[in-house]
Amino acid sequence: PEKKKPYRTKEFEGAPMRRGTVLKVLIVKPKKPNSAQRKAVKVRLSNGKVIIASIGGEGHNLQEHHTVFVRGATIRDLVGMKYRCIRGKGDLQPVVGRVSSRSKYGVKKPKK
């Protein structure tokens, strides 16, 4: 019998995504040679585990006690960051004014 591959995201316990509650909004610095102030959140997942997830895109509306959906993703210049928040789900709004790569940022197709 084939051996089943363990799911990449350990904290999700086999689920592809998890809902969670924001405990704290953070600003994280990337590793060299990059320099920035990346936005992230500390989240308590629905299974009780606490993780840190990145917020992609420009600007966000997250505060403490907001609900977010988290997916597994490697953010390469942030050390130890294995998760990313899904834009346009829960209390996290889509990126305003986004035209390209809209599906990654929860943006609807603009009206002509």
Number of domains in the chain: 1
Q: What is the pLDDT of residue 58?
A: 94
pLDDT band at 8 (very low <50, low <70, confident <90, very high): low
Q: Is residue 45 part of a domain?
A: yes
Is residue 111 domain-resident?
no
In a domain, 36, yes or no: yes
The parent domain of residue 49 ranges over: 10-102
Backbone φ, ψ for residue 91 (5° rounding): -90, -5
Residue 63 lies in a domain: yes
Domain presence at residue 58? yes
Q: Which residues contact 70 (CB under 8 A, 6 or more apart)?
A: 17, 18, 19, 20, 43, 45, 51, 53, 83, 84, 85, 86
- Residue corresponding to tokens 């009206």: 111
Give the pLDDT confidence score for residue 11 in this predicted structure.
86
Residue 17's CATH number: 2.40.50.140
pTM for this model (two decimals): 0.88
Higher pLDDT, 112 or 36: 36
Between the alpha carbon of residue 12 and those of residues 15, 75, 98, 100, the distances in Å are 5, 17, 29, 30
Confirm whether 68 is domain-assigned.
Answer: yes
Q: Is residue 82 part of a domain?
A: yes
Q: Report pLDDT digits (tens) over 38-86.
A: 999 999 999 999 999 999 999 999 999 999 999 999 999 999 999 999 9
Residue 110 lies in a domain: no
> What are residue 22's DSSP bridge partners?
43
